[in-house]
Amino acid sequence: MEPQGIILKKIEPRSKSLRLFFFLSGIVATIAYRIIFLLDPFWTKIVWYVGTVGFTLYFGHRTSVERKRAKLVRDYDLVNVIEKSDIDKDKKSALSYLIKTSLTSKARFNSAFIFFASLLVLVISLAIDIYRLIF
C-alpha cells in the first residue's frame, strides 16, 4: 500500500495558472487556424506556426490528463470500489458512468494522435523552412 502523500501527489491537478496556460494555448491555436485564410503569405506562415505550437501544447496536456485519469481508475480499482459502495443508487450510477468512461473513452487516443501529428508536422515544417533559408 502506498503512503497517503504519494496518492495525493498522483491525484493533485496541475497549478491553476498552468491549466489556464494550456487552455489559452488551445484557444489561440484554434483562432490562429481559423483566420489563416484572411492573411497574406507572410502572416499565414507565422499564424500557422502559432496554431501548430498551440495545438501541440494543448493536446499534449490533454493526453497527459486523460492518461492519468485512466491510470488512477485502474490502479485503485475504482470501478469495483464504486460498485461495492453503499451510496445512493443514482449517485452510484453517475459515478460508475464517469469512472467507466474514463477507461473506455477514446479521447486520450484522439488527443495523443493530434499531439503527435502536430509535433511531427511542426518538426518537418521547421526543417523545410531552415533548409530554404540556408540553401
R_g of the chain, CA atoms, integer Å? 20
Q: pLDDT tier at 13 (50, 70, 90 boundaries)? A: confident
Percent of the chain scoring above 90 in pLDDT: 90
Mean pLDDT (whole number) for 19-40: 97
Alpha helices in the chain (DSSP H): 4-11, 16-35, 41-75, 78-84, 89-104, 107-134
Quick check: 113 pLDDT over 70? yes
What is the predicted pLDDT for the residue at 116? 98
Nearest CA among 63, 62, 75 for reference residue 10: 75
Cα 111 to chain centroid distance, Å, stands at 6
By the 8 A CB rule, do 95 and 87 touch?
yes
Mean pLDDT (whole number) for 67-95: 94
